[in-house]
Structure 1
């Protein structure tokens, strides 16, 4: 058995963001020859040991680009409001791809699939005001996302 690398980071669960999404608007094909969508964050909640609050309704959304081979390249930006009223800007980049063509078809029809049927990971950046949430603007996070019909649930971990 090998020991972990001495610089291997640890991950601490921070919070989960559950987002209800609007109906997508499609640009097919784009000038790049790929498909892009605009999907807005209708509402949502933030719940976890390090942050509680809500997604500010319609404060932004995701503009994913579907690349050849079915890889979805996320570019999401929206606002969070912490329980204390602080507004926090979230910028999320990441990827989603299905582990088979049949799963990809089910996901495109907005049908439920198992968590192990796809890869969906994000790397967020937060812009938080000075005060109790400033730590979010000084740490790296990773998110593991769940695609559920009409919504996303993203579990965020702070890298220590």
Structure 2
């Protein structure tokens, strides 16, 4: 058994954002080999111990780059509204890839798959106003995401 490093970060569950997505708009055929899409955040909710609220409908979306090797490179930006009315900007960057060709094909068809059959992680940044949500713009987060047909559910953890 190895000892923990003295600087091992601690993770604290903060909240989950569930997002219903619009249909994807693909840039095809791709001129440089990668495919780009535009998928808008139609609506969503935020639930958790540190933040509750909603995703402001159509306030942004994801513009993923689908690489020839099957890795999807996320670039998502949209606006949140906390239950107290505070407006918070979210920028998510991350990756998704399937653990097998069969799972990749099911995901391309927007079919349900088990969360452990793919890797989907994001590193968000938040712009939040001064006040009760300012802590969000002062911490590093990681997100563990679930791909659901027509939606994403992302569980965010504060790195302490």
Mapping of 1:10-89 within 5 angstroms? 10-89=10-89
Aligned to 2:131: 131
Aligned to 1:141: 141
**What secondary structure sits across from 1:68 in the alignment?**
coil
C-alpha separation between the residues in 2 aligned to 1:86 and 1:114? 35
Displacement after TM superposition at 1:31 (Å): 3.7
Could you tell me the TM-score, scaled by structure 1's length?
Answer: 0.98
User: Which string of whole-angstrom CA distances, capped at 9 and with x for unpartnered residues, describes residues 110-140 of structure 1?
Assistant: 0000011100000000000001000000000
Pair 1:108-2:108 in alignment: yes
C-alpha separation between the residues in 2 aligned to 1:71 and 1:35? 11
Going from structure 1 to structure 2, the CA distance change for 1:29 and 1:5 (only over 3 Å counts) comes to: farther
Pair 1:97-2:100 in alignment: no
Displacement after TM superposition at 1:84 (Å): 0.3
C-alpha separation between the residues in 2 aligned to 1:125 and 1:31? 30
Displacement after TM superposition at 1:32 (Å): 2.6
| Structure 2: 5+ residue stretches without partners | none
The answer to whether the 8 Å contact 1:28/1:34 transfers is no
Displacement after TM superposition at 1:28 (Å): 1.7
Could you tell me the TM-score, scaled by structure 2's length?
Answer: 0.98
User: Which string of whole-angstrom CA distances, capped at 9 and with x for unpartnered residues, describes residues 2-59 of structure 1?
Assistant: 1111101000000000000000000023343210100000000000000000000000
